[in-house]
Amino acid sequence: MSETEIDFASLLCSRLCHDLLSPVGAMNNGLELLADEHDPEMRQRCIDLLAESARAAADRLKFFRLAFGAAGGFGPEVDPNEARLVIVPMVTSNGRTVLDWAVPAQMMPKRAVKILLNLVLLANDALVRGGTLSVGAEARVGEQEIVIRASGPKILMEPAIREALTGQLDSAALEPRTAAAWMAHALAVQGGGMLQLAEPDAEHLVIGALIRI
C-alpha gyration radius of the chain: 18
Where along the chain do its domains lie?
A: 3-212
The predicted pLDDT at position 45 comes to: 86
The fold for domain 3-212 equals Heat Shock Protein 90 (3.30.565)
CB 133 within 8 A of CB 97: yes
How far is residue 187 from each of residues 28, 49, 84, 179, 194, measured CA to CA in Å? 37, 38, 20, 12, 9
The predicted pLDDT at position 71 comes to: 61
Averaged pLDDT in 10-residue chunks for the chain of 213 residues? 70 86 85 82 87 91 89 77 95 94 94 96 95 96 95 94 92 89 94 89 93 91
CB 50 within 8 A of CB 34: yes
Q: Quick one: which of 126, 137, 15 has its CA closest to 84?
A: 137
Pairwise CA distance, residues 34 & 71, whole Å: 35
Concatenating the DSSP letter of every residue in 25-44 gives: HHHHHHHHHHHH---HHHHH
Pairwise CA distance, residues 66 & 144, whole Å: 18
The predicted pLDDT at position 3 comes to: 56
pTM for the structure as a whole = 0.90
Supply φ then ψ for residue 170, to 5 degrees: -65, 140
The predicted pLDDT at position 49 comes to: 86
Helix or strand holding residue 108 (H, E):
strand 108-109
The predicted pLDDT at position 29 comes to: 84
The predicted pLDDT at position 74 comes to: 63
In this structure, which amino acid lies at residue 210? L
Pairwise CA distance, residues 140 & 160, whole Å: 32
Q: Quick one: which of 77, 76, 75, 97 has its CA closest to 87?
A: 97
CB 183 within 8 A of CB 12: yes
